[in-house]
Structure 1
Amino acid sequence: MNERYSRQVLFPGIGKEGQAKISSKHVLIIGAGALGSGSAEVLTRAGVGKLTIVDRDYVEASNLQRQQLYTEEDVAEKLPKAAAAEKRLKAINSDVKIISIIGDATPELLEDLVVGVDVMLDATDNFETRMAMNDVSQKYKIPWIYGACVGSYGMSFSMIPGKTPCLNCLLRTIPLQGMTCDTGGIISPTVQMVIAHQTAEALKMLVEDWESVRTSFVSFDLWRNQYTSMKMSKAKFPGCLSCGDERTYPFLDHENMTKTTVLCGRDTVQIRPSIKGELSLDRLAGQLNSLGYTVKGNPYLLSVEMGKERMVIFQDGRALIHGTKDLTHAKSIYQRILG
């Protein structure tokens, strides 16, 4: 057994047999930001056989506070996160096969990528992608590990098709956070805590110790010294369209994705969210004001100045991004602010 993994092999939960299993497995990580880069490093150092990372963004200065794989040089070169992550991970462990994909994790791409994947890790920044991951997980029977964090608050849940509730079930039970790091900020210890939860669960799955996989929903607030673990067995919903008796995998349907449209004759993109719901405009205005944005509004909408661009947000989650015709750029702005 490689001396590199000797301390890991000494751990009874893994041992030589478990290490051999880890080295033969394939993990897919969606997102190479704070959670993705940290989890990728942990699993690369642990000796996973193959690691595929998908991310559409590039490295910016604001990432360096918490995204541990990146450097000031990456910022200066505006390197795509996936490419920068691949370069660093290969330097950490040349035994691991690293595949980086620079692009959007669409349902079509996810369905192509999951062939031969043993575990998926959620490190994305928006619920549209998470819901697509959830449906891919259920359709192809691949376990995945949800994770999210903002401010000092984090959460994680391991989903095993056929055994645990899926994310679509959980949304009926748990009011998940709507803030993002761009609106609520983030401290690095919160990121590290979620990474610890996600990668520990991933290692359990990779060594096939299914009895040890945590089936409770974990949430915590490091600043307020709060930690909660909730049993989720009763959250499984027989009528769920993602994992229920008559599943249709609705979030793999192109019709249910976020709609982006360039308005005729204008430098404006309209965005309609894939998940319906009403926003608290007052709360959102307060968050954005505290971050230095110029915000004006009325009971029906908010207008947010964003440099050369302006975002108008309606109560139903619909938004107009003025100052651009680039659909990808507009969608990125939308998800950065609204998650």
Structure 2
Amino acid sequence: MNTRYSRQILFAPIGRSGQEKLLQSRVAIVGMGALGTVLANHMVRAGIGFVRLIDRDFVEPSNLQRQMLYDESDAAQHLPKAIAAHAKLSQINSEVGIEPVVTDLTAYNAEQLLCDVDLVLDATDNFQVRYLVNDVCVKHGIPWVYGGAVSATGTFTAIRPGQTPCLRCLFPEAPNPGEMATCDTAGVIGPIIHIVASYQATEALKMLVGADDARNPNLEHFDIWNNQHQQIKVANARRPDCPACGQQQFSFLQPPSDEGQAVSLCGRDTVQISPTANLSLDLEALAERLSPLGTVERNRFLLRFHTEPHTLVVFPDGRVLVQGTDDISLARSLHARYIGA
């Protein structure tokens, strides 16, 4: 073992044996936005042996204020976040296996992407995906760390299936779309991101080295603008009637109907349309077909088609973001008109 991790090894609760465990560990991070970039930075620098980066989106200028791995060139090139993060992280620690996956986590691929790791880190921005992560992790006994941040507030808790309450014990029902503040509606300041993600990363390190005596049993909430910190005791909050951990009913792993494949992304004036199975689109051929109809920009990861006042962002797996509307019917119409079935 080289001197790269010497200061971490000097930290007695990790030590040399703990570092060996980290080097053998596998972690998946769901979402490579603000929380995800901080989490990935910590995991890669700490020497986690394998880190999978899962994200459906691409870098935009508005991300740069808080998504710490990205720069202006990433935004100018419209690079997928997983790809841009992989490029940065590979130069930070070339000894770590880093796998970028440009996709939306769905019932079709969640078990494939999450079942071969030792720990999952939540860096998503919506409860539907978190419930999906929860179903996979409870079903397969994989520990995971929930985290969320918006405005100047943040929350996290560590979930160990069979030992702690799961997410659906704590939050039986997802908030209705539009009821909860998002970064796109209420804004966010960078420091809360680092606070929440750093706590998440610390819980991850504890679990990976087996430091059960140091685990945090609480749901923690911060409001750093108003100098407030709440510790909510949830150790006894497991519910026998919980659909997931109590009754082993994993409804979020059931593939939705075709109609469910279009979803309005809260606060972003964007509708995402996903195929019911992964495709393999020829973006070059699509660019040639669309060029006479509007402005086309393309890199090897995605295609952007501008037809005022809308933009369609097309990924090779068939997923499309229709920007400039939150109307699902209109988005489906534009998709059918320009992309086809």
Same fold (TM over 0.5): yes
Separation in 1, partners of 2:175, 2:229? 16
C-alpha contact (below 8 Å) 2:22/2:47 kept by paired residues: yes
Structure 2 matches for 1:19-58, cutoff 5 A? 19-58=19-58
Give 1:175 deviation, angstroms.
Answer: 7.8
Give the conservation status (yes or no) of the 8 Å contact 1:173–1:235: no
Instruction: Say if 1:220 and 1:173 are closer, same or farther in 2 by CA, change over 3 A.
Output: farther
C-alpha contact 1:251 1:257 (8 A) present in aligned 2 = no
Which residue of structure 2 aligns with residue 17 of structure 1? 17
Q: CA deviation at 1:116?
A: 2.7
- Asked if 2 retains the 8 angstrom alpha-carbon contact of 1:250 and 1:256, the reply is no
With over 3 angstroms needed to count, the CA separation of the structure-2 counterparts of 1:127 and 1:138, relative to structure 1, is same
Q: Check if 1:311 corresponds to 2:312.
A: no
Which residue identity lines up with residue 59 of structure 2 in the other structure?
Answer: V
Cα separation, 2, equivalents of 1:83 and 1:123: 16
Name the counterpart of 1:206.
208
SS of 1:217's partner is strand
1:325–1:174 Cα change, 3 Å: closer
Contact 2:158 2:217 in 1 (8 A): yes
**Aligned match of 1:322 in 310, 313, 330?**
330
Quick one: distance in 1 between partners of 2:203 and 2:111? 23
C-alpha deviation, 1:115, in angstroms: 3.2
Indicate whether 1:81 and 2:81 are aligned: yes
Q: 1:258 to 1:21 in 2, by over 3 A?
A: farther
Deviation at 1:110? 1.6
Output one character per residue of 1:27-58: Cα deviation in whole Å (capped at 9) or x when no partner.
00000000011100111000000000100100
SS in 2 for 1:117: coil
1:238 maps to which of 237, 240, 243: 240
Indicate the SS of the match to 2:58: coil
CA contact (8 A) 2:115 2:136 kept: no
Q: Post-superposition shift, 1:233?
A: 2.2
Q: Which residue number in structure 2 is paired with residue 284 of structure 1?
A: none
Is residue 108–residue 255 contact of structure 2 (8 Å, CA) maintained in 1?
A: no
TM-superposition CA deviations, 1:171-197 (whole Å, max 9, x none): 149989811100010000010011111
Q: Could you tell me how far apart the structure 1 residues matched to 2:173 and 2:232 are?
A: 11
**Runs of 5+ unmatched residues, structure 1:** 263-267, 272-305, 313-319, 328-339
Whole-Å separation in 1 of the counterparts to 2:272 and 2:94: 45
- Cα offset, 1:108, TM superposition: 2.5
Q: In structure 1, how many angstroms separate the alpha carbons of the residues matched to 2:162 and 2:257?
A: 24
Question: Aligned AA for 1:150?
Answer: V
Query: Which of 100-109 and 181-190 deviates more?
Result: 100-109
Counterpart Cα distance in 1 of 2:116 and 2:145:
17
Q: State how far apart, in whole Å, the 1-side matches of 2:329 and 2:126 are.
A: 18
Tell me the equivalent position of 2:227: 225
Report sequence identity in percent.
44
Distance 1:258 1:111, change over 3 A: farther
Deviation at 1:256, TM superposition (A): 8.4
Which residue in the other structure is 2:165 paired with? 165
- Please list the CA deviations of residues 97-134 of structure 1 after superposition, one character each: whole Å capped at 9, or x if unmatched: 00000011112312012233101000112111110000
Displacement after TM superposition at 1:311 (Å): 3.4
- The answer to whether the 8 A contact 2:38-2:198 is kept is no
Structure 2 gap ranges (5+): 264-269, 274-307, 311-323, 336-341
TM-score normalised to structure 1 length: 0.77
Q: List 4+ stretches of structure 1 deviating above 3 A.
A: 172-177, 255-258, 268-271, 306-312, 320-327
Task: Note closer, same or farther for the CA distance 1:236–1:109 as it changes in structure 2 (3 Å cut).
Answer: same
Change (3 A) 1:310 1:95: closer
Once the two structures are superposed, residues 253-306 of structure 1 have per-residue CA deviations (whole angstroms, 9 ceiling, x without a partner) of 1248982469xxxxx9799xxxxxxxxxxxxxxxxxxxxxxxxxxxxxxxxxx9
Deviations 1:200-232 (A, max 9, x none): 000001101122111100001000000001110
Distance 2:257 2:130 in 1: 13
The structure-2 alpha-carbon separation of the partners of 1:183 and 1:51, relative to structure 1 and needing over 3 Å to count, comes to: same
1:110 paired with 2:125, answer: no
Q: Is the partner of 1:149 in helix, strand or coil?
A: strand
What's the CA shift for 1:158? 0.4
